[in-house]
Amino acid sequence: MEEHDGRLPKQKKVKVVFVLGGPGSGKGTVCAKIVEQFGYSHLSSGELLRKEIKAGSEHGTMIQNMMNEGKLVPSDITVRLIQKAMQETDNDKFLLDGFPRDEENVRTFEKLTKIEPDFILFLDCPEEEMTKRLLSRNQGREDDNIETIKKRFRVFQESTLPLVNYYASKGKVRKVDAARPVEAVFESVKTIFSSANEQGA
């Protein structure tokens, strides 16, 4: 048996909120505001994947091809990137923006991190509004074109929404009407995070 001095091993008990919503629903925008007001660290799996492409990493080309088709990158790759980013961040509260996107993402995340989310913030927005936002986002993203947008909506409907419904059945979803102006959306989000704070969640 390993000898130790009685102290617990260095362990972080982390709190995680999954921030879900269709492409262009405003996940990144609202996460930035939650960070300012509630001290979470913001990890966007999409951003982490785009960094891999830029860095020309081992899986960069494959990731780029998947993204341009609006398809989901294999869970192993995404989860490892998230896990690494969490370990490198000196915080115990994380917003996972745009993750998980399907059931396999969840299974892989739970297997590798043993973390269960506190709750799911769900930004509910009609496709028409999301399309308008994506087409005027101007971030130079190759996947913000109408063909790829349609594919991304389909993946969201078929793979991500069932997950949201699953978490809703466990009482874990906090849904917000995301079709309103940013300030109004954030007012609702603030209420949710304030009450989560009070409950020590």
Ligand X SMILES: Nc1ncnc2c1ncn2[C@@H]1O[C@H](COP(=O)(O)OP(=O)(O)O)[C@@H](O)[C@H]1O
Ligand Y SMILES: O=c1ccn([C@@H]2O[C@H](COP(=O)(O)OP(=O)(O)O)[C@@H](O)[C@H]2O)c(=O)[nH]1
Q: 71: which residues sit within 8 A by CB, 6+ positions away?
A: 151, 155
Does residue 117 belong to the site contacting ligand X (CB under 6 A)?
Answer: no
Q: Binding segment for ligand Y among 51-59, 96-104, 114-122, 169-177 (CB under 6 A)? A: 96-104
Site string for ligand X, 123-152 (x = CB under 6 A): ----------x---x---------------
Contact 118, 16 (CB under 8 A): yes
Question: Which H helix or E strand runs over 32?
Answer: helix 27-38
Does residue 181 belong to the site contacting ligand X (CB under 6 A)?
Answer: yes
Q: How far is the CB of 143 from ligand Y (least distance, A)?
A: 6
CA dist., res. 63 & res. 67, Å (int): 6
Sheet holding 119-124, edge to edge: 41-44, 93-97, 15-21, 119-124, 173-177
Does residue 98 belong to the site contacting ligand Y (CB under 6 A)?
Answer: yes
Residues annotated within a binding site: 24-29, 50, 71-73, 98-101, 105, 137, 141, 152, 180
Residues annotated within a binding site for ATP: 24-29, 137, 180
